[in-house]
């Protein structure tokens, strides 16, 4: 189990790493555009295209594997946490199964769309000329695919009753790490 879990975690970390770089690019690109427009009267070309098609799409979908790995999906615990443990593990199983199947389907469908955009050589016409945008469509099958993969692997680990071997990245907190307040 361990080596495969490690491999998946490595893929997830790679995809999130790219998303992280995209966040920095988004913020600096917009800041530089504003400065250039305001101070030097020469705005950058195609900022909106880069921000929306390149950065936003990557930030929205590439970290999905990490979200699944860290279990940071937004879900309602209210009722489920009151149920007996045995029922809760059945629910966890069903949730993972549904996640894996649905995300795999979305990955396949967005993958088809990406292939057709690749075939068409999709681009945008900007003032500076042609900007190729078909690669941005491949972010979706990658992100949804990783999420499906992580969920499927957790499902297998749960079924076999073994450790998934996925790395658990914890976010350190500058204030709350030492003592947890009474919540």
Partner 1 sequence: KEKLNFAYGYPANSAVGLAVEDYAAAVAERSGDNVTVTGFPMSLLSLPETSPGVRDSLADVGFVLTPYYPAEYSNNLFLHEQNLLINLAENPTGKEPLAFTGAMLEYTFNNCPECLEEFKAQNQVYTGGGVTPLYNMLCKDTSITTIDDLKGKRLRAGGAGFVRFAEHFGAQGVRLPVNEVYEALDQGILDCAMLSAPELTNYNLYEVVTDITLDVPGGAFAGVASANVNADRWKAMSNEDREALLWGGNAMTAATTWNFYTDDSAAVQKSRDLGIAFHEPTPELLAAVKEFAAQDLKTVSGLFKDTYGVERAEEITAEFAPILEKWYGLVADISTKEELQQLYWDQVISKVDPATYGQ
Partner 2 sequence: MSELQIAGLFIGALFFLILMRVPIGVSLIAVSFAGLWSMFNWNIAWGSLGIVPYNFANSWVLSSIPAFLLMGFICYHTKLTQGLFSAAQIWLSGLPGGLAIASVFGCAGFAAVTGSSVACSAAMGKIAVPEMIRHRYSAELATGTVAAAGTIGALIPPSILMILYGIISRQSVSQLFLGGLVVGVITLIAYVLLIVVRVKLNPDLAPPVHTQATRTEKFRALGQTWPVLLIVIGVFAGLFGGVFTPTEAGAIGATLSTLVALVYRTLTLRALRMAIVETITTTAALLIIAVGASLLTRFLALSGIGDALSSSILSFGVSPVLIMIGIVIVYLLLGMMLEPVGAMLLTLPVVLPLVDETGFSLLWFGVVLVKLLEIGMITPPMGMNVFVIKGVVGNIASLSTVFKGVFWFVIIDLLIVAALIAYPDIVLFLPEMFAK
d(CA 123, CA 90): 47
Q: What is the 3-state secondary structure (H, E, C) of the chain?
A: CHHHHHHHHHHHHHHHHHHHHHHHHHHHHHHHHHHHHHHHCCCCCCHHHHHHHHHHHHHHHCCHHHHHHCCCCCCCCCCHHHCCHHHHHHHHHHHHHHHHHHHHHHHHHHHHHHHHHHHHCCEEEECCEEEECHHHHCHHHHHHHHHHHHHHHHHHHHHHCCCCCCCCCCCCCCCCCCCCCCC
103 binds, among partner 2, partner 1, none (CB under 5 to 8 A by kind): partner 2
121 binds partner 1 (CB under 8 A): yes
125 binds partner 1 (CB under 8 A): yes
121 binds, among partner 1, partner 2, none (CB under 5 to 8 A by kind): partner 1
Q: Residues 39 to 78: which contact partner 1 by CB under 8 A?
A: 41-43, 45-48
3 binds, among partner 2, partner 1, none (CB under 5 to 8 A by kind): none
d(CA 41, CA 33): 10
115 binds partner 2 (CB under 8 A): no
123 binds partner 1 (CB under 8 A): yes
24 binds partner 2 (CB under 8 A): yes
User: Residues 39, 79, 127, 176: which binds partner 1 (CB under 8 A)?
Assistant: 127
Binding site for partner 2 (CB under 8 A): 16, 19-20, 23-24, 26-31, 33-34, 38, 48, 51-53, 55-57, 59-64, 66-67, 70, 72-80, 91-92, 94-95, 98-99, 102-103, 105-106, 109-110, 112-113, 136-137, 140, 143-144, 169, 171-176, 181-183
């Amino acid at each position: 189990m361990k080596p495969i879990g490690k491999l998946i975690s490595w893929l997830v970390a790679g995809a999130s790493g790219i998303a992280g770089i995209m966040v920095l690019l988004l913020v600096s690109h917009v800041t530089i555009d504003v400065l250039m427009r305001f101070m030097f009267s020469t705005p950058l070309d195609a900022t909106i295209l880069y921000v929306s098609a390149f950065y936003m799409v990557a930030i929205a979908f590439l970290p999905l594997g990490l979200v699944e790995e860290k279990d940071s999906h937004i879900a309602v615990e209210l009722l489920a946490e009151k149920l007996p443990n045995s029922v809760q593990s059945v629910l966890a199983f069903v949730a993972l199964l549904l996640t894996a199947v649905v995300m795999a389907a979305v990955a396949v469908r967005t993958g088809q769309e990406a292939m057709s955009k690749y075939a068409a050589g999709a681009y945008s016409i900007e003032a500076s000329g042609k900007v190729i945008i078909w690669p941005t469509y491949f972010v979706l099958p990658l992100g949804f695919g990783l999420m499906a993969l992580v969920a499927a692997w957790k499902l297998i680990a749960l079924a076999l009753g073994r450790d998934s071997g996925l790395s658990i990245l914890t976010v350190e907190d500058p204030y709350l790490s030492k003592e947890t307040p009474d919540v």
